[in-house]
Amino acid sequence: MMVPAEPTSRLLRFSSIFLLVAPLAACGNDADTGPPADGGSVRDATVADDASSDGGLGLADGATDGAAGRDSGASDAGAPRDAGPPAAPRRFLCINGAGVDGAGGRGSGGNPDFETLCARLGPGLIQDCASGNCYSTFAFETTGNPSRDALVRALDSNKDGRVTAADDPARLVLVGYSWGGTNVRDLALWMTSEPRIDDARRRVEFLLALDPYRPGGTMDIPGNVDQFVEYRHSVAPANDCSRITLGGIPVSGPYLGIVPRCKAGTACTDYDYTLGGATFFPGAFTPGRGYIGSNVDHCGLVNVAASAIPPLLASSPFSPLPPKVAVATY
Ligand SMILES: [Ca+2]
């Protein structure tokens, strides 16, 4: 029997809601008067139908459309250009927020901006191809952790099952959004004791978290992370996309980024867009448009953070950045 597309979509969306999907609704907090250029329809786009192709991330060399496969190998994307021995190439791994593929997950994008952000990080991106489709982000993880084996496979260049000094060197960048923000923290922590990874290869150059959130979660950053940067909002605007209601009754959300804590040896930065108040922050995927700080919500946060992340990784200046909150140590 034929099932109409729209009811099916709605059914999946309700499934997503109960999986604590934040970014279902359109981001309605644009500082500009009209809807964002992507509108809400982009959330139904497929990966192939990249509605954010002109998102203006402004990546320089090494930026691609994410076509690199899992075994594409490393490149010199992001390597410093100053004198001295060349830095190891970067490898990137992203974990998305809660969602179901095809209905708010990676394929149709509850927040497609995060998938696009990761697709453009560089040819060193470690894709998730386990399902037959290749995604630029791994799905959020609850009971299983497929990102862990994928990370070992990607770093194990001589294919002996372990990550050692015999493998090609790499600088690892982990990026997570919402639930996936807590997952990349867990991934970094797992690296500190995983037997397949030698001690010399347990370092994480950058751990980037965009509004990391899951119920009961914490963001205590393990000491093998060299640089941690969180981008969050601390007060939900009235129309925050992560205010989940059923029949007008709030059932979940809003999801605010968990306050991080770091070890003393990690360079930690905690950006709070809410504290940006009336400052305008440009959206990477809505050229010429963006949000004022107090209007940044759980969905729009990806749009504004995606403007700041490529310059961060390129050691290039970027302005405006939101106010920083002092990070406690533990
Ligand atoms: Ca190896």
- Residue 28, exposed/middle/buried by CB under 10 A (0-12, 13-18, 19+)? middle
Q: Distance from the CA of 155 to the center of ligand 1, in angstroms?
A: 7
112 located within any domain: yes
Encoding tokens for residue 211? 């509004």
Q: What pLDDT sits at residue 82? A: 60
Q: What pLDDT sits at residue 227? A: 98
Q: What residues contact 2, with CB distance under 8 A and at least 6 apart?
A: none
pLDDT band at residue 244 under the 50/70/90 scheme = confident
151 located within any domain: yes
* H or E segment and range at residue 290: strand 290-292
Q: What residues contact 292, with CB distance under 8 A and at least 6 apart?
A: 31, 276, 277, 278, 279, 280, 281
Ramachandran angles phi, psi of 82, nearest 5°: -75, 175
Return the percentage of the chain with pLDDT > 90, whole number: 64
Q: What pLDDT sits at residue 131? A: 83
Q: Report which of residues 231 and 107 the model is more confident about.
A: 231
76 located within any domain: no
208 located within any domain: yes
3-state SS, residue 249: strand
59 located within any domain: no
Ramachandran angles phi, psi of 154, nearest 5°: -70, -35
pLDDT band at residue 111 under the 50/70/90 scheme = confident
110 located within any domain: yes
Of the listed ranges 33-37, 114-118, 193-197, the least confidently predicted one is: 33-37
* Contact indicator for 206, 220 with CB cutoff of 8 Å: no
Q: What pLDDT sits at residue 84? A: 75
| Mean pLDDT along residues 300-318 | 97
Residue type, 17: I
- How far apart CA 288 and CA 240 sit, in angstroms, is 21
Q: What pLDDT sits at residue 4? A: 32
N- to C-terminal Cα separation, the chain:
58
Ramachandran angles phi, psi of 25, nearest 5°: -75, 160
- How far apart CA 323 and CA 330 sit, in angstroms, is 22
3-state SS, residue 250: strand
Show the domain range for 188.
7-32+64-70+87-329
48 located within any domain: no
Q: Distance from the CA of 198 to the center of ligand 1, in angstroms?
A: 10
Q: Distance from the CA of 46 to the center of ligand 1, in angstroms?
A: 35
Q: What pLDDT sits at residue 102? A: 61
Q: What pLDDT sits at residue 34? A: 32
| Mean pLDDT along residues 292-320 | 97
| Structural domain count, the chain | 1
pTM for this prediction:
0.78
Q: Distance from the CA of 76 to the center of ligand 1, in angstroms?
A: 20
Q: Distance from the CA of 188 to the center of ligand 1, in angstroms?
A: 19
Q: What pLDDT sits at residue 268? A: 98
Q: Distance from the CA of 156 to the center of ligand 1, in angstroms?
A: 4
pLDDT band at residue 133 under the 50/70/90 scheme = confident
Residue type, 190: W
Q: Is the peptide bond before 320 cis (omega within 30 degrees of 0)?
A: yes
Q: What pLDDT sits at residue 300? A: 95
As beta bridge partners, residue 176 has: 95, 209
Q: Distance from the CA of 95 to the center of ligand 1, in angstroms?
A: 24
Q: Distance from the CA of 143 to the center of ligand 1, in angstroms?
A: 27
Q: Distance from the CA of 32 to the center of ligand 1, in angstroms?
A: 51
Q: Distance from the CA of 196 to the center of ligand 1, in angstroms?
A: 9
44 located within any domain: no
Helix, strand and coil content of the chain, in percent to the nearest 5, comes to: 20, 20, 60
pLDDT at 201 over 90: yes
